[in-house]
Amino acid sequence: MTRIDQLRRGGLVLDVDDSGPEDGPVAVLLHGFPADRSTWRAVTPLLTAEGLRVVAPDQRGYAVGARPEGRRAYRRDWLVDDVLALADRLGAERVHLVGHDWGGLVAWRLAQRAPDRLASLTVLATPHPRAMALAAVRSDQALRSWYIAAFQVPWLPERLLRGRLVPVLESMGLARATAERYDRRMREPGALRAAIDWYRALALPTPAGTPRVDPLVRVPTSYLWGSRDAALGRVAAEATERYVAAPYRFVAVDEDHWLPENAAALVAEVVLDRVRSVTA
């Protein structure tokens, strides 16, 4: 395997951090909204120190060279295809996949679609999508997720968030310096619109020709959830186990939504525990 700093795919250019031993097991780390690959800056050295090769891309819409216009470009299956293309570029038959927030939703989808490409799965914050749907009718999850509906409105969310993102992120527990870093990225041309288009694409039908999606995840999985997460509640978190038909570990901790930033050592511990469970 060789080092990569970019993934070129279909006219898009995704920037990539690639560190750790080149011949080590590959861990692919997927960030969420409104972050970028720097989400993992405190987690990565803890993983590479244990022999993992850690690859963290700026996902579609967040990378400067990959901001196509229109919500159709941000369907989950296109996002999954980006990750599979990254694994192919690395020459990795299987990877240890880690996802936070929206990166977690992409990770769940990839595990359902292509379990043969994963050695293990670790998801942070984001419940299995079917657990989310269940919780929406059995708890306050629909109220917690109000912003998803609000983001469906054209152009207005971008206008309202521009200049207000830092205090919003701070109110959710993110340190100001980190919130400002993410805000700078979202101020780049087309960045905030592209990030919100991920939400707008949720309502789109599955593209024709997409491989069948198994409702169950059949990959050894760990799920880490913070009990102070304002967006994602306990009912969905606890129901996630129903949708994993493989060795599973649920870790509930007294943390907020920003697990990679605020609980890096714990995240690394959970990831490494899952990796070791399948490589021992």
Catalytic annotation present for 101 = yes
**Pairing status of strand 118-124 against strand 95-100:** parallel
15-19 long-range contacts, CB within 8 A, separation 24+: 15/57, 15/58, 15/63, 15/64, 15/65, 16/55, 16/56, 16/57, 16/58, 16/86, 17/44, 17/54, 17/55, 17/56, 17/57, 18/53, 18/54, 18/55, 19/44, 19/48, 19/53, 19/54
Q: How far is CA 29 from the centre of its chain?
A: 8
User: Rounded to whole angstroms, how far apart are CA atoms 132 and 134?
Assistant: 5
Catalytic residue flag (residue 31):
no
77 tagged catalytic: no
Task: Choose, from 101, 183, 229, 256, the residue flagged as catalytic.
Answer: 101
Among candidate residues 199, 223, 243, 248, the one labeled active-site is 199
Query: Could you give the residue numbers annotated as active site?
Result: 101, 199, 257
